[in-house]
Amino acid sequence: MAIIADKHYSLVDYAKQFDPSGQELAIAEVLSQSNDIIADALVTESSLDSGHEYAVRTGIPEGTWRRAYQGIEPAKATTKVVVESYGTLSAYSVVDKLVAEKGGHVEAVRTGQSRAIIAGMSNTMASNLIYGNAGQHPERFTGLAARYCELDGAESSRNVIDAGGETEGQNSSIYLVVWDTDKVFTFFPKGSKAGIQRVDYGLVNHVDADGNEYPAYKEYFEWKLGLAVQDWRYAGRICNIDVTNVPADLIDQMCELEERIQSLSMGKPVWYMNRTVKAALRKLTSNRTNVQYTPDQITSRPLMTFNEIPVHICDAITDTEDVVK
């Protein structure tokens, strides 16, 4: 079916377009519930079957100061074409017939197993959104860490701030991302149902590690997703955060990164950090007026914001990063 273009479509929003009560939506909801970064990311259908192609502006016309009877030189913006790849994440759910039928609740047992597997796929995809590197693993896509990996020498280095950690293997990072479908966004293959597929094989003969068969209920899950950073100016990283001694000036560095972002009003900005760094940030900001806790709904837990930008936990960001140089 045709999808109406929308600048604020999440994975769940796209899945609803195909079948409001279908399996794609059910899977998308579990994927999104498991990780904030999956729920936050704006998603679009790719321009190619094999990936997503877009133009990156490399130069902007400056214009010509003109006097009377003086001509104007032709000018145009210069661009380069980039093709991003997507990764295919797959998993099987296999439940032995004896286990599934024990107690007479086959569907409930199968659903519980499937939800656990889908949640695990969400964790894997969230990790790749941070640490994926297609250069090292061609079957995956490149994540944020590999795009903001140098303190100088690259264009994106302007948006990389050094928190001062010097010990290998005990550092973490904070990311600020402005999600928008012409800046930083995710994409799924052209013509697919939000990149999500589920195949229910029902009761089949499954083969164990020794080659012996046994009856089992079997399902196959597939998720195709890619990340596009069409404009690097709309994301950034604070790296080298020593998790054994989080620096007191981390707040100042977050403020600095906000100023380095091209515009925070041109999309949906979100901070991402792991639980260790967020706990330290809460202590550092206990008396700050620029940090608020506001519930989205009456029954929800308070949401932390820093300068009115949501602060979301991303467990995929580790405490064991090497020093970014």
**Digit-coded pLDDT (tens) for 239-298:** 999 999 999 999 999 999 999 999 999 999 999 999 999 999 999 988 777 777 666 555
Helix 250-260 / helix 275-284 crossing angle, nearest 10 deg = 100
Work out whether strand 43-45 and strand 184-188 pair parallel, antiparallel, or are unpaired.
Answer: parallel
Q: Where are the beta strands (DSSP E) in 70-192?
A: 78-85, 87-96, 160-162, 171-179, 184-188
Q: How far is CA 298 from the centre of its chain?
A: 27
Helix 23-34 / helix 11-18 crossing angle, nearest 10 deg = 170
pLDDT band for 4, please (50, 70, 90 cuts): very low
* Tokens, residue 3: 């999808």
The answer to whether residue 61 scores a pLDDT higher than 80 is no
Domain map (residue ranges) of the chain: 11-55+82-313
pLDDT band for 3, please (50, 70, 90 cuts): very low
Contacts of 322 (CB under 8 A, 6+ apart): 168, 169, 171
Per residue in 187-204, pLDDT (tens digit) is 999 988 889 999 999 999
How far apart, in whole angstroms, are the C-alpha atoms of residue 159 and residue 280?
22
pLDDT for the residue 17:
74
From 71, 7, 90, 96, select the one nearest 43 (Cα to Cα). 7
pTM score: 0.87
Burial bucket for residue 122 (CB in 10 Å: 0-12, 13-18, 19+): buried
Determine the average pLDDT of the residues in 308-316.
Answer: 96
pLDDT for the residue 71:
66
With a pLDDT cut of 70, the percent of the chain lying above it is 86
How far apart, in whole angstroms, are the C-alpha atoms of residue 314 and residue 24?
24
Per residue in 9-46, pLDDT (tens digit) is 888 887 877 666 567 788 888 889 989 999 999 999 99
pLDDT for the residue 59:
60
pLDDT for the residue 68:
78
pLDDT band for 221, please (50, 70, 90 cuts): very high
* Tokens, residue 16: 């609803």
pLDDT band for 5, please (50, 70, 90 cuts): very low
The answer to whether residue 1 scores a pLDDT higher than 60 is no
Determine the average pLDDT of the residues in 91-107.
Answer: 94
pLDDT for the residue 287:
76
The answer to whether residue 66 scores a pLDDT higher than 80 is no
Helix (H) or strand (E) holding 145: helix 144-147
pLDDT band for 81, please (50, 70, 90 cuts): confident
pLDDT band for 2, please (50, 70, 90 cuts): very low
pLDDT for the residue 131:
98
From 108, 255, 241, 220, select the one nearest 172 (Cα to Cα). 241
